Amino acid sequence: MRDEGQAVAAFELATQQGLPFDALLCDYRLADGADGLDIGLRLRQRFASGLPLLMVTGETAPQRLQKVHASSVAVLFKPVLASDLLAALASLNSENAAVTQ
């Protein structure tokens, strides 16, 4: 997605079609300086509070990294291997399934 508006539209369409997302994957730093963590948390709050959220970042600034870690959102650091991404998503979905049962 290019921006939060497109993400909202995708969530609304998925909801209308009865095809909810299994997870939300966001880059930390988005175009025009947008904060992917804030956007991901807003999307999750609005559409599915239990939706697993995974951040991907190449961020190195200590203040920004502290914010990600303080959020308790799972994070992977770039470069990310496909196998690591798949394992992280599988782990988050397993944790989410255990919580919702």
Count of beta carbons in the 10 Å neighbourhood of residue 11: 19
Q: Which position has the higher pLDDT, 3 or 75? A: 75
CA gap 74, 67 in Å, rounded: 12
Give 80's pLDDT tier (boundaries 50, 70, 90): very high
**Nearest CA-CA partner of 54 in 25, 22, 82:** 25
Give 26's pLDDT tier (boundaries 50, 70, 90): very high
Residue 39 domain boundaries: 4-100
pTM of the model: 0.86
Mean pLDDT of 23-52: 91
Give how many domains the chain has, as a whole number: 1
The enclosing domain of 54 has a CATH number of 3.40.50.2300
Residue at 68: amino acid letter: V
